[in-house]
Chains A and B, each alone.
Chain A
Amino acid sequence: MAFIPHTETDVREMLQAIGVDSIDQLFDEIPQALRVDGLKGVPEAVGEMEITRIMHQRAARDGEPLTFIGAGAYEHHIPAAVWEIATRGEFYSAYTPYQAEASQGTLQLIYEFQTMMASLTGLDVSNASMYDGASALGEAALMAVRANRKSRSGKILMPRTLHPLYRKVARAVAGNQGLEFIEVDYDHANGTLDLKALEAYADEDVTALVIPQPNFLGRFEDVDALTDWAHARDAQVIAVVNPTSLALIKPPGEWGEKGADIACGEGQPLGIPMSSGGPFFGFMTCRQSWVRQMPGRIVGRTTDMDGRTGYTLTLQAREQHIRRSKATSNICTNQGLMVTGATIYMSLLGAEGLAGVATACMNNTARMVEVMSSVDGVEVAFAGGQFHEAVLKLDCPVAPVLERLAAEDIAGGLDLSAEYPELGNALLVCATETKSGDDIVRFGKAMADAVAAVAGGKR
């Protein structure tokens, strides 16, 4: 019996001790009318050998394409040690560290993680992680409403340069609690949020402004001016940031005069495989003054009864298992194992290694943009640089181009035409440090062929 150790003798002895004749008798409190006789729609069991063959076939079918999509999930090199260590049974098969004495490994690791994330974002404190970057933004919006006592409106300004899926998730996660998410347009020529567009809200009670950096279109926002604009109106600033970029660019804690209040984002670039979109982890950091409004697990350092240093879950009075309906969130778990991987990743790379990754991403993307700008029928949407993503404008529909690239085993970017119709046939592309010069040249050639084929007789 798969994964069940009982021998016939065991079962006999156990039933005898209980005082019943059969296992079935143990279910006699369930009304007979409700009982089912097995699960005919579930296939018969297969052994590890058979399931290995099935899964290998399916994984091979999906293959390992040459990927130039970013848009919230990024292909980075992951050092072998990361998942070798993170999937050790002692991490992999442990529970949430409620019994602190039996969970010091996980707890100390989270404390180290909190330190790294707080420092990376330039803020004071971090939680132990959220589900993913998008849901972390929804929770950050709820947190801003709790923290900003000067505001009563629950209005959250979200620029359209923020990831469209993040905007949708924030609404789904936080929309039931009376928050109003307002989308602010951007400068279509330049790809960044326009301060002038914000001025329409200058005299309104705004609870928080969300600032993505780099933004969804790969561009750098004028974070200092935006932060100061929000703070001048008693609105909080929620930064949505890419952790790789933070090795290089100004962290949210240093934005403007006072710095952002809350930072959140997707932790996946820190050593987590793309894996069809999950499991990833969201991170969230904030100023010390808002820590009691923060959702999720938090680990603190303390001492034991012999005076030794130890680590424990703290500020639990915010949480659902204590506060029930008055908790800051219903969140129960964090994404512990992903945090384990990310902490090992950040330790292996260090600040210098992460900066190496960030600069290689930036330069590879600049090279890709240069190659694409010389392709017939392709132009670069915005002049003046980007982090590791860029928008291309095609002179033909994007979807059939992506289909042709897919046939060449190239994941050629994300079609923006539905979410950003004002940009025309726009495509968001990304080149991380994993892309060689040859890869970029191959992508350029394939793009030229695909665009020429789709545009066809038009030119």
Chain B
Amino acid sequence: MTEKLIFESSREGRRATAQAPLRQRVDLPDHLRRNTPPLLPQVSELQTVRHFTRLSQMNFSIDTHVYPLGSCTMKYNPRGCNTLAMLPGFLARHPLSHESMGQGFLQTMYELQDMLKEVTGMKGVSLTPMAGAQGEFAGVAMIKAYHDARGDSARNEILVPDAAHGTNPATAVMCGCKVVEIPTDDQGDVDLEELRKAVGPQTAGIMLTNPSTLGVFERHIEEVRGIVHDAGGLLYYDGANLNAILGKVRPGDMGFDVIHMNLHKTFSTPHGGGGPGSGAVGVGERLLPYMPIPVVGKDGDTYRWLDEKDIPGTIGRLSAFMGNAGVLLRAYIYMRMLGRDGMSRVSEYATLNANYVMVRLRDAGFDLAFPRRRASHEFIISLKRQARELGVTAMDFAKSLLDYGFHAPTTYFPLLVPECLLIEPTETEAKEDLDGFVEAMVAILAESAHDPEKVKGAPYTTPVRRLDDVKAARQLDLVYNPASADA
């Protein structure tokens, strides 16, 4: 199944005339005018609807497939959250309109800030960061601002465990810091000896994900906190895996000074094919003066924006307005529907599902990366043995799973574990669907033994088969050019 480019359905003079006003004469000098029209397709409404509906059908998604993509928390996105966030009163609100015209929205944001404070054990929350990576940026920028305000500007090193997401070191650099990698021990915990050696008067802070990207809880978190705080550094919590501990343990109680939350993971706002996300940040006492603006405040019964005047030490604005406001509405609605007990159930059933699939795969002959550890909400298997003995890699398994109707787990991340699959079933998958995933893995393992070439050639049932990434990078074709298409 392939679909032509929409430009290839374009015919001169065809228009969806109900959709836009007709061109009017305007008073515009010649030197400002555009001479050749832009390459936008000339198609009917039906052609547009059909084209994009067909494109949608070429995607795997949570709504159509089990999607056990580790570190991404691909849980069900309740439809009600979307419907209610798209009520006309929310969509029609201009971000710069008078505060009296936005009390319903502002109240909702204020309550969301409060709920997130409770969930994380932090003292303040700013909702503006537009994605996890921007939340990380806000967090590290606040750590820098804190040290700078104390005249402690020599602190410019950020410690990052070697298992961390790539955004962690990239963020540290964007904040003008140097990155120091800390190794992990053979049980998946931070190597405390190496951490002690790495800290010093140059340490700005450490970025930690807990449970880590290795799918295990960092058991020495209290020692890590002691070592970093004693050295004068601050602790940053990457909330990528908050789903695993919701209602069980709070980053604030673990001693973290700042945290970002991926609302598109833990609080089920849509991933949307790669965004918009939302990376709200929470801070402890020490970083309250530096929060990104705007934040929503309350005077009596009236809600209002807090800006530079209220938070003079702020690291500033990360978006023109209020971050991904519509995403925040969806997170609020989801959190209200979960309620306090539902939050704890999220981590309980996410953890139950992960441990169940882990044990079943282990019993079926797969190698666990950390066989002596509990899974958090996710876990890692390594196909190193299969790669050596059968020549079938983690990527081959991933592609083969697509033919069985399962989205692939995360492949080759974290980089520490060779031939790895990082598997996160989430709490919203039913047991029989988890069993189906295990059965597919078992079937692929059997195929790998008697017909490895077939597995290496997968997928067979998707709209296209494996793509030539080298060609894509070497012979760059990033935009459609009708002239070269005719040739």
Contacts and interface: CB of A to CB of B under 8 A. Distances in A.
Nearest to B111: A43
Nearest to B326: A275
Contacts of A254: 35
Contacts, number: 691
Contacts of A323: 166, 170
Contact of A176 (B90, B144, B429): B144
Contacts of A112: 5-7, 480
Contacts of A331: 131, 133
B5 A250 contact: no
A154 interface: no
A145 B355 CA distance: 48
Contact of B321 (A10, A72, A249): A72
A441 interface: no
Contacts of B274: 95-97, 106, 128, 297, 333-334, 336
A338 B411 CA distance: 27
Given A56-B87, A106-B59, A277-B319, A324 B166 contact: yes
Contacts of A120: 38, 40
B22 interface: yes
A276 to B, nearest CB: 4
A48 B337 contact: yes
A373 to B, nearest CB: 16
A383 interface: no
A406 B407 CA distance: 50
Given A95-B67, A101-B459, A165 B317 contact: yes
A332 B468 contact: no
B196 interface: no
B41 interface: yes
A315 B167 contact: no
Nearest to B51: A347
B90 A1 contact: no
A26 B431 contact: no
A350 B12 CA distance: 11
Given A43-B340, A169-B319, A278 B130 contact: yes
Interface in B289-348: 292, 315-327, 329, 333, 335-346, 348
B163 to A, nearest CB: 12
A4 B132 CA distance: 25
A41 B39 CA distance: 54
A283 to B, nearest CB: 13
A196 interface: no
Given A51-B336, A94-B271, A125 B478 contact: yes
B16 A350 contact: yes
Max chain A CB contacts within 10 Å: which of B78, B337, B430?
Answer: B337
A230 interface: no
Contacts of B167: 320-321, 330, 332
B349 to A, nearest CB: 5
B483 interface: no
Interface string A23-48: 11011111101111011111111111
B395 to A, nearest CB: 10
A35 B248 contact: yes
B205 to A, nearest CB: 14
Interface in B245-301: 245, 247-250, 253-254, 268, 270-277, 292
Counting contact residues on chain A (CB < 8 A from B), the size range is 35 or more
B271 A274 contact: no
Contacts of A288: 476
Contact of A85 (B49, B132, B316): B49
A36 B346 CA distance: 15
Interface in A259-301: 266, 273-281, 288, 291, 297-301
Contacts of A359: 21, 23-26
Given A23-B351, A278-B319, A91 B275 contact: no
Interface string B76-92: 11101010111111111
Contact of B89 (A58, A163, A325): A58
Interface stretch (A132-140, A185-193, A443-451): A132-140
Contacts of B217: 29-30
Contact of A64 (B3, B16, B88, B345): B88
B95 A3 contact: no
Interface string A319-343: 1111111110111111111101001
B368 interface: no
Interface stretch (A74-82, A203-211, A231-239): A74-82
B110 to A, nearest CB: 11
Given A58-B107, A248-B28, A356-B20, A3 B76 contact: yes
B472 A363 contact: no
Contact of A109 (B52, B103, B253, B342): B52
Contacts of B173: 325-327, 330
Contacts of B39: 115-116, 119, 351
A362 B268 CA distance: 41
B337 A330 contact: no
A363 B40 contact: no
A35 B459 contact: no
A39 B472 contact: no
A317 B469 CA distance: 12
Contact of A168 (B65, B317, B345): B317
A366 B24 CA distance: 13
Contacts of A52: 80, 84
A383 B372 CA distance: 76
B153 interface: no
A110 B236 CA distance: 34
A105 to B, nearest CB: 4
A119 B333 CA distance: 39
Nearest to A100: B467
B478 to A, nearest CB: 5
Contacts of B115: 41-43
Contact of B471 (A45, A302, A338): A302
B69 interface: yes
Contacts of B345: 1-2, 4
A200 interface: no
A31 B221 contact: yes
Contacts of B26: 248, 359, 362-363
Nearest to A65: B101
A171 interface: yes
Interface stretch (B174-182, B226-234, B384-392, B440-448): B174-182
A312 B471 CA distance: 10
5 contacts: A60-B89, A97-B274, A120-B40, A176-B176, A352-B42
Given A23-B352, A44-B340, A335-B276, 18 more contacts: A34-B221, A35-B249, A36-B248, A39-B343, A52-B80, A56-B84, A58-B108, A93-B62, A96-B275, A101-B402, A105-B54, A119-B479, A273-B86, A279-B325, A332-B132, A335-B272, A354-B38, A359-B25
10 A-B pairs with least C-beta separation: A45-B339, A277-B321, A89-B63, A59-B89, A337-B272, A277-B95, A172-B316, A58-B104, A41-B118, A353-B20
